[in-house]
Chain A
Amino acid sequence: MTAAPTQPAPSIVDWRDQIFEVFQDHDVKQVYHVPDAGHGRLIEACQKSNSIRTLALTTEEEGIPLAAGAWLGGQRSVLLMQSSGVGNTINLMGMPKTLRFPFLTLITMRGDWGEFNSWQYPMGQGTPKVLEAMGVLLYSVDNAAEVKTTVDAAARSAFNGGQAVAVLLRQKLIGIKNFGKK
């Protein structure tokens, strides 16, 4: 296996912590995830937080009804997933529209920018299209300097504007997956 050359930007640490700050600014109380390297640092920050309940899912699909239930009970939530997990959610992704509740998901993209694994391309390339088809508003960010403002705007559209919103964290931002190195 050839390790793809990757040069994470010096700010790579910062934007993950900044997303956590946005969660706190918006009073997010529940965070759902399937283990993911791209979201790893953020997931750990959520797990260590006293104000956020962090749940590992068996499949990304579980995150939508969880978010619906949290909102019914007066709490805000975020679903963290990889583009490959988006396909698992599509039928239930209709729930935010049907029930009209705020929904926010952050998606780390694969099959997007210099991806070495051909198996990641179909869902990676399909991700924006299927989300759009389900009426999910899309934000996209590939520049570390714009992550905080983008996630904040997405959270406002979701929690204040009542929309279902996905932020695509592009592979160019995250770095090309480099096996063997963290």
Chain B
Amino acid sequence: MSTQAHRATLQRRPLVKQLLEGADDNLLVIAGLGSSNWDITAAGDRPLNMPLWGSMGAPVGMGLGLAMAQPTKRVLVITGDGDMLMSLGSLATVATQMPDNLAIVVLDNEKFGETGNQATHTSPRNNGPTDSGAGTDLAMIARGCGIADATTVREAGEIAELVKDVRTRKGPVFRLVKVMVEKLEFVMPPQDGAHLKDRFRQALLGHP
């Protein structure tokens, strides 16, 4: 498979902004460490965002625990390909529960962004000695785990439907979004984990 044929054109930051447009108290958002954290924060920091600063591999499990505890709320997990690769088994665990209120969006730029854009396994094969992966298809893995509604988004024309699916479609919904490699401004939320957790619970439950 040639790289050229699938060169990503989507930009993560405006896309995440669209995903979170008009977010109200019914939308609970968890973002993985690094770029996904900065993306949801750039869209507007809010108490019902839980942006992670570490704990790689945790977002999908967190989203599942939260979705089961709050079945009437919409839970949206936004993370990257590197983070998702670290917890592939959690997709199988999601599939055992089939939470209808959970959506998972993986922003796949085929790089480990926080450590210097090294190729992840989702990078194409034969991409040179330092930039090759295995062409790993995370949407196919999600389907293989038992999440039937798992598709890939590549084109700007698909974004409106993506937003609708992520916000309202019966879950579990898994969307792999191929995005460009970009150097973007760090837009940081508060870092204190206990504070982030307490403000989230205060907003959701009325007590920390």
- Name A residues whose Cβ lies closer than 8 Å to a Cβ of B: 29-30, 53, 55-59, 61-75, 77, 91-92, 94-95, 98-101
Contact = CB atoms under 8 A, between A and B. Distances in A.
Interface in B57-80: 57-70, 73
A158 to B, nearest CB: 15
Interface stretch (B85-93, B122-130, B133-141, B171-179): B85-93
A70 B66 contact: yes
B205 to A, nearest CB: 5
Contact of B69 (A55, A65, A75, A100): A75
Given A53-B68, A61-B57, A75-B69, A69 B63 contact: yes
A75 B57 CA distance: 21
Contacts of B70: 73-74
Interface of B: 28, 30, 50, 54-70, 73, 87, 89-90, 92-93, 96-97, 193-194, 196-197, 200-201, 204-205
Contacts of A101: 197
B197 A66 contact: no
A114 B50 CA distance: 45
A74 B57 contact: no
A56 B65 contact: no
A69 B65 contact: yes
A122 B16 CA distance: 45
Contacts of A68: 58, 61-62, 65, 197
A30 B70 CA distance: 12
11 contacts: A53-B97, A55-B97, A58-B90, A72-B201, A73-B67, A73-B69, A73-B204, A74-B70, A94-B54, A98-B54, A98-B55
A107 B80 CA distance: 32
Contacts of A56: 93, 96
A70 B89 contact: no
A94 B55 contact: yes
B62 A69 contact: yes
Contacts of A58: 89-90, 92-93
A72 B208 CA distance: 9
Nearest to A162: B194
A158 B85 CA distance: 31
A65, A75, A92 — most chain B CB neighbours (10 Å) = A65
B194 A72 contact: no
Given A64-B58, A65-B60, A70-B65, 7 more contacts: A30-B69, A53-B68, A74-B70, A75-B68, A94-B54, A94-B55, A99-B196
A61, A69, A98 — most chain B CB neighbours (10 Å) = A69
A58 B89 CA distance: 6
A66 B61 contact: yes
A66 B61 CA distance: 5
Contact of B55 (A57, A95, A100): A95
A85 to B, nearest CB: 13
Contacts of B28: 72-73
Contacts of A73: 28, 65-70, 73, 204
Given A68-B58, A70-B69, A101-B197, A59 B50 contact: no
Contacts of A98: 54-55, 193-194
Given A69-B65, A77-B65, A94-B54, A62 B197 contact: no
Contacts of A72: 28, 50, 62, 65-66, 69, 197, 200-201, 204
Contacts of B55: 65, 91-92, 94-95, 98
